[in-house]
Amino acid sequence: MPTKTFQIPMADGHADVFAAFPDDQVPHPGVLMYPDAFGPRPVLREMAQKLAAHGYYVLVPNIFYRHGRAPLVALPDHIGEEIRPALVDQLMPFIHLHTAERVSSDAEVYLQFLEEQPEVSTGEVGVVGYCIGGLLATRTAAVYPSRIAAIAAFHGPVAADRIEELAKITAEVHFGHAAGDLTPEALNELNRALDAAQLSYNSEIYPGTIHGFTMSDTDAFDPAGLQRHWDRLLALFERALGTN
């Protein structure tokens, strides 16, 4: 599956991104894939290529480009629990500085970039995010509802207290929560908020999972959870975007 790397001009510098897409000279629906806090790396490239193989043009940005090119911190091949807290501590200042205003400004450029690529078909796009990327995906869908047909967030910090943000979304939604992140009671509260927002959604806890379960380069990885993620994500995008 072909990939390309780009430096996209932004309001605050240049964002380093990579894209994966089918090599068939046919336009395909666009997808914006937000990484977790550890950023673009081999596991994200593999996931983007797998999604692209199902008929999508997938764009993965370095969301913290204002602070340097990815990776911003030295990452081992495998992120074990013994090192994860120290890595998160290094990234936390960048997370705190990534305001809602920055998310909105950056998302507009990413969506425009997708729309301008000859390999991307016209029409609405899909957005998917992991961990903090799930929050970014949700915010993007809320700020640009007319441009997004589907949104998925996995082990992301999405809660019922974001009802005003959720109410702006018109896309079909899937939230895949880690069992270690959300209690059944909190899930019921969130789903009541989604009902109140009149969203078309599926919001569920993935059994036996902990935060970060989709990432195969971490101790949190859960193969069954990752497969459930693919089953839900591919079905969502096929319904909302189709494939070319």
This prediction's pTM = 0.97
Kindly state the tokens that stand for 165. Answer: 């943000």
Contact of 50 with 10, CB cutoff 8 Å: no
Residue ranges making up the domain that contains 107: 3-240
Residue 117's CATH number: 3.40.50.1820
Q: Is 39 left (phi over 0), alpha (psi -120 to 50) or beta?
A: left
Q: What per-residue confidence (pLDDT) applies to 161?
A: 66
Kindly state the tokens that stand for 109. Answer: 């450029």
Q: What per-residue confidence (pLDDT) applies to 205?
A: 97
- Give the separation between CA 36 and CA 207, rounded to whole angstroms: 21
Alpha helices in the chain (DSSP H): 42-52, 84-97, 100-116, 132-143, 163-166, 184-196, 223-240
Contact of 57 with 19, CB cutoff 8 Å: yes
Q: What per-residue confidence (pLDDT) applies to 160?
A: 61
| Residue recorded with tokens 């989709």 | 214
Q: What per-residue confidence (pLDDT) applies to 107?
A: 98
71 Cβ neighbours under 8 A, 6+ residues apart: 38, 39, 40, 41
pLDDT per residue of the chain (244 residues) written in tens, 0 to 9: 789 999 999 999 999 999 999 999 899 999 999 999 999 999 999 999 999 999 999 999 999 999 999 999 999 999 999 999 999 999 999 999 999 999 999 999 999 999 999 999 999 999 999 999 999 999 999 999 999 999 999 998 887 667 788 899 999 999 999 999 999 999 999 999 999 889 999 999 999 999 999 999 999 999 999 999 999 999 999 999 987 6
- Collapsing DSSP states into helix, strand and coil, what is residue 44? helix
Q: What per-residue confidence (pLDDT) applies to 58?
A: 98
What does DSSP say about strands 125-130 and 30-34: parallel, antiparallel, or unpaired?
parallel
Count of structural domains within the chain: 1
Please report, as a single letter, which amino acid is at residue 93: P
Q: Is 231 left (phi over 0), alpha (psi -120 to 50) or beta?
A: alpha
CB atoms within 10 A of CB 77: 8
What does DSSP say about strands 201-206 and 30-34: parallel, antiparallel, or unpaired?
unpaired
